[in-house]
Amino acid sequence: MMVRYLAFLALCAILSLAFGQAPRPNGVGTASLDSVDPGENEFEEREETPCHNEFRTYDGTCTNERHKTWASAGRPHFSYFPNRSSRTPTGRELPSPRLISNILCKQVGNVYNRRGLSELLTFFGQFLDHTIVASPVDKTQPMPISVPPYDPVFQNFSRGNMPFERTERGKMEEHSAVEGPINSLSSAIDLSSVYGSDELRAKALRSYWKGGMATSAGNNLPINTAGIRNAPTKESKYFLAGDHRANEHPVLTSLHTLFMREHNLICEELAERFPDWDDEQLFQMARKINGAQFQKIVYEQFLPAITGRRLKGYRGYRSEANPTVSNIFSTAAFRVGHTLVGNGINRRGPFMWKMASLSMQQMFFRPVDVLREGIEPFLRGAIFNRAQEIDPLVHDSLRNFLFTGIPQENGFDLIALNIQRGRDHALPTYNEIRRLCHRRPAHFFSDITRSASLQSILLHLYGTPDRVEAWVGLMSEDHLPGSSMGPTLLRVWAAEFERLRDGDRFFYRQWGLFPKEVWDAVPRLRSMYYERDTLRSIILRNSDVKHYEIPYDVFRSMV
């Protein structure tokens, strides 16, 4: 089914994985790091899990020590409306999501981001999304998307419908009758996209030599020779990574590769300074340091770049803060990335020499390009080029031709999927989200946007602001000065990342996170905390990209 492969950017739902079996290593803390398979909703079992004080579990259990299942894999999304069930979908009286996509979202030409954000920011957002969100679907619950008559692309597609399956449901709390859509990944910002959200998958990614991660020729990600479930298939021509979507396009694959290589560099440093440590100790400490670096990039580079704002000051871990990704954020607010994507993958050679651009359709699930060219052309190209604007407009590469290069798969409309997923998850309306953010509801479409043409389209599709759906309204807002977001979207993001930060006892700024002997012996830690060790630094350490080729801030384009 097409729905298996519909996770393209930072903000997208896709099938969960079944994980392959691998040998169990012996070492420090192994029992405490056991995981419950993603998709299980066994709260009692997880609440009884003993929490390891030094290292994370793979599935996110014990991210919050008082509420052990918060942020864990297989748990329903956090809801701001805890008594509202998502069992019954919404929007049956509204226009087809495909019709909305055709009328509202068709983009002609480029609408570049006015603040100069780079395409690398777009794809880093996807990498972050694949660290914290994946929506397993229930194949017994079809909810097809109606294709309107005379559709310019899909009028003869699947007898007038696009296939769509509802997300699996689970109880919001142990003794609750209210159900919510499940997230099959840990919600913790823990680099599970590199290490996996399940111990079985995590084992398959390790070399078991001095704490390292497995690699393939050219210091690339390992090849999936074990036949572990993968997207688009488990064939051995695809890379294996912590998240099953790592092969979707070469920039995403390149980011996975960077952080895998960074782990192995950290292991080399640790092994030199602690020669008596065994493989397990080296692996877990390198994983912890790598995850802390990733969190710093998210909170000190990515968020300020895209939002133009800083979060409230960090005051330490708070056990009452729930670090579970919310339904509103994962299903609507975090799907800004789809509007940021251009129509192709840009490549640049040494000294930023221009190489031929490739269309999105050509690049889906082609790991051979990374094997042949390396990660450097794709990283340089993503840094050089400017992202599109955050708005309702989306290029046809995502609306009409998604994954058309995969044998036996048809095109699809990712924006129609966004809207249908919002209805599947029974998201609150845009006005309900405004109220949640302590903003007065929009009484007129001019309260959402100053654009007369956009007001007219929203009026035609929805009739009244009270019917506007979450994703549509959030993407349609006028941006605040100095930000790429409107006021409601900005508040949703701020609330989300503050919860994910404050409820995580392993957050990188938490006092005493690293033992003193590690802090004193590893200069990388002091560089990370006290200096500007950035994503640029990780790129330079782990690729052949040169310091004179890329700007200091790789989230700002060079054009």
- Amino acid found at 22: A
- Is residue 178 packed enough to be buried (19+ CB in 10 Å), middle (13-18) or exposed (0-12)? middle
Q: Which pair of tokens denotes residue 212?
A: 């390292």
Site of tokens 């046809």: 396
Mean pLDDT of the chain: 89
Question: What does the pLDDT read at residue 529?
Answer: 85
- Amino acid found at 420: Q
- Is residue 366 packed enough to be buried (19+ CB in 10 Å), middle (13-18) or exposed (0-12)? buried
Give the pLDDT confidence of 266-320 residue by residue, as tens digits: 999 999 999 999 999 999 999 999 999 999 999 999 999 999 999 999 999 999 9
Q: Beta strand pairing status for 344-345 and 358-359?
A: antiparallel
Give the pLDDT confidence of 448-461 residue by residue, as tens digits: 999 999 999 999 99
Binding residues for heme b: 338
Query: Taking the domains of the chain in order of start, what are their residue ranges?
Result: 2-427+469-541
The residues facing 182 across adjacent strands are: 76
Question: What does the pLDDT read at residue 409?
Answer: 56
**Phi/psi class of residue 56: alpha, beta or left (left: φ > 0; alpha: ψ in -120 to 50)?**
beta
CB atoms inside a 10 Å sphere around CB 203:
18
CA–CA distances in Å: residue 538 to residues 45, 258, 381, 507: 38, 7, 17, 20
Q: Is pTM, for the whole model, over 0.85?
A: yes
The residues facing 206 across adjacent strands are: 213
- Could you tell me how far CA 529 lies from the centroid of its own chain? 24
Q: Which pair of tokens denotes residue 276?
A: 């008596």
CA distance 481 to 484: 8
The H or E element containing residue 182 is strand 179-183
Question: Does residue 19 have a pLDDT over 90?
Answer: no
What CATH superfamily is the domain 2-427+469-541? Haem peroxidase domain superfamily, animal type (1.10.640.10)
Question: Does residue 180 have a pLDDT over 70?
Answer: yes
Q: Which pair of tokens denotes residue 455?
A: 């007001």
Question: What does the pLDDT read at residue 468?
Answer: 98
Give the pLDDT confidence of 224-233 residue by residue, as tens digits: 998 898 999 8
- Could you tell me how far CA 183 lies from the centroid of its own chain? 12
